[in-house]
Structures are given as C-alpha cells and as structure tokens.
Amino acid sequence: MSETVDIVVAAFMLLFASMYLGTGWSLVLFSFPLAAQLTPQTYRLPFVEPVRNATRFFTFMTVAMMAAAAVLVVGEAGSEYVWVPIVYLGAVIAATALTLLFIFPYNKELTAGVTDQDRLHVVLGKWMRLNVARVSLWTVQWVAVALYFVLKAA
C-alpha cells in the first residue's frame, strides 16, 4: 500500500479512537459522580437509553476499527511502525471482550429493571469499575495511533 493510504487509514483509526476516548472520559468525569444520587426510579433515563444508543453505534464503529487496524498492519508490514496497529487492534479486541463478557451482563440487568436500591448501588459500582478499565483500553488505542502520527512526523 501507499504511504497516503496508510495515513488515511490511520486518520480514521484516530477518529474512531477519539470518539471512544471522549465518550469514555466524559462518562467517568461527568456521569459517574452522579451514580450515588440515582435510585431505582431515576437511573433508567440517564442510563438505559444512552447505553442502548451507544451500543448500536459503537458496534459498527468497532468493526470498522478492527478492519482499519488490519489494513494498517498490512500497510506497515516490515516497517518500524507496524506495532501501532497491532497494539491498537489488541486494545480494541480486549475492550470488546471486556464489554461482551463482563459489562453487557450488567447492562442487561439494568435494562430489565433494578428495583432494589442496594442492588442498584452494587450493579452500578461494578459497572463503573469495569468501564474505568475499558476507558483505559480506549486510552491505549488513542495513544498508540496518536504516536503513529508523531513518529511519522519526526
């Protein structure tokens, strides 16, 4: 592949990673502090529909991220930059596995309806801790692809 194609693909990877990074850190910084105030009567509005919408959107974007990373692995094969799409892809796969295996069960429970305040506190606490781990993986994705541009420019 050409250098131009590699840069365009990496730019899409940066766009995707930036969307995850912004969503994740916004959640941690602005939504998580509200968790203690949520009750079984109030958690659905700030939680259920936004999570459902994000899941639909990010499912397609995650597939695009994996495809773009695979294209860049091929484009940078044999170069000193091939580690970037490998790290990126690894972090995407890890975040996806974390989501599917550990976060989605809590999403389903919250969507079904939690009526007990103590259970809500437990579920939201576990969900938030898992999401901090996921945001960390999203940060790795962003840093890796941002470094690609820094190193290419150097």
Q: Which residues have CB under 8 Å from 58's CB, separation 6+? A: 20, 23
Q: What is the mean pLDDT of the chain?
A: 97
pLDDT digits (tens, 9 = 90+) for 39-73: 999 999 998 999 999 999 999 999 999 999 999 99
What's the pLDDT at 87? 98
- Domain parsing of the chain, residue ranges: 3-153
Distance from C-alpha of 96 to C-alpha of 135, rounded to nearest angstrom:
11
**pLDDT over 70 for what percent of the chain?**
99
Look at 1-5, 18-22, 23-27 and tell me which has the smallest mean pLDDT: 1-5
What's the pLDDT at 129? 98
